[in-house]
Amino acid sequence: CVNVGSIAAKWLGLHFGILFGNHDPGMTSGNITVARNIIRGFAYGGVFLIGDHNRIVNNQFLDLNLARCGTEPVPAKCAALPDEPDALRSGIYLSDNGGRAAVTRDNVIQENVIEGFGMAEHCVAAKKGVSLAANVIRGNACGDPVSSR
């Protein structure tokens, strides 16, 4: 999945590569595998993750955070979630709400390449109250694009 960089950087909506949601009361986000994909060119992160027993493995998430969230002054398109500053600036963000409350644990996030603005510092992050330690997170290569190093 590739977005044209200039368009993704200007778009003002919620713009993640993959968004795990649970708005439908009859479904949950669990036991899903996302493997061996190239996801490139998104205004925010590569994955917004909720649920349990999901596997995010061996993917390339490139050209993330084109909105440059995490800079001062805060760009308007980065001000949507002021109580969750990592939500829009992280490569993979673990949350406990994708429309309804969810428990996010026992996920595997490993061997991914995660690159984009601020990814060296905000590669994998979680909402306050969501435990990164309750998930397996290992072997991910995180970095800023060469032009911002």
- Give residue 77's pLDDT: 85
- Give residue 6's pLDDT: 56
Chunk the chain into consecutive blocks of 10 residues (it has 149) and report each block's average pLDDT, rounded to whole numbers.
58 75 85 96 93 98 92 87 92 94 96 97 97 98 78
Look up residue 97 and give its two tokens.
């709400």
- Give residue 148's pLDDT: 53
- Give residue 98's pLDDT: 87
> In degrees, to the nearest 5, what angle opens at C-alpha 145 toward C-alphas 143 and 128?
45
Contact 33, 57 (CB under 8 A): yes
- Give residue 82's pLDDT: 86
- Give residue 7's pLDDT: 61
